């Protein structure tokens, strides 16, 4: 139950941060969460899933407001993908970005907490 609460709160944080700041808020939110939750196993994976859920929610809200299908078809033509591929890449991007940032931040935070550890 606690994992689900973390997932929902983190997905909300990703969605709000992205809406306010932009896509580069994803690695910042992921790094902060990973540094805070160094002792929690699977925090990087949780971060990636939450980022994908947050961006999926933003995509759903955007799709309800305008012709996202037309944009996906046009962008898919440029990228040589179908519309489903464009949606998949759009959802995969924040997940991979968040996982990468979380792994790096977690390693740095873990090394900083070790007594006598060399600075990275």
For residue 48, pLDDT beyond 90 = yes
Angle at 44 between CA 22 and CA 41, to 5 degrees: 150
User: For the whole model, what pTM was predicted?
Assistant: 0.84
Integer Cα distance of 109 and 31 in angstroms: 10
Span 65-114, pLDDT tens digits: 877 777 777 777 877 888 788 888 889 999 999 999 999 999 888 888 77
Token look-up 């933003």 returns 58
Domain limits, the chain: 2-113
* Cα–Cα distance measured from residue 49 to residue 51, given in angstroms and rounded to the nearest whole number: 5
């Amino acid at each position: 139950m606690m994992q689900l609460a973390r997932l929902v709160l983190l997905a909300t944080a990703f969605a709000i941060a992205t809406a306010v700041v932009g896509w580069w808020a994803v690695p910042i939110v992921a790094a902060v969460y990973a540094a805070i939750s160094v002792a929690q196993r699977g925090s990087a994976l949780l971060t990636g899933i939450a980022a994908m859920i947050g961006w999926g929610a933003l995509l759903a809200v955007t799709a309800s407001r305008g012709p996202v299908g037309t944009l996906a078809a046009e962008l898919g033509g440029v990228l040589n993908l179908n519309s489903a591929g464009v949606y998949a890449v759009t959802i995969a991007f924040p997940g991979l970005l968040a996982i990468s940032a979380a792994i790096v931040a977690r390693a740095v935070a873990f090394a900083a907490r070790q007594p006598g550890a060399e600075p990275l």
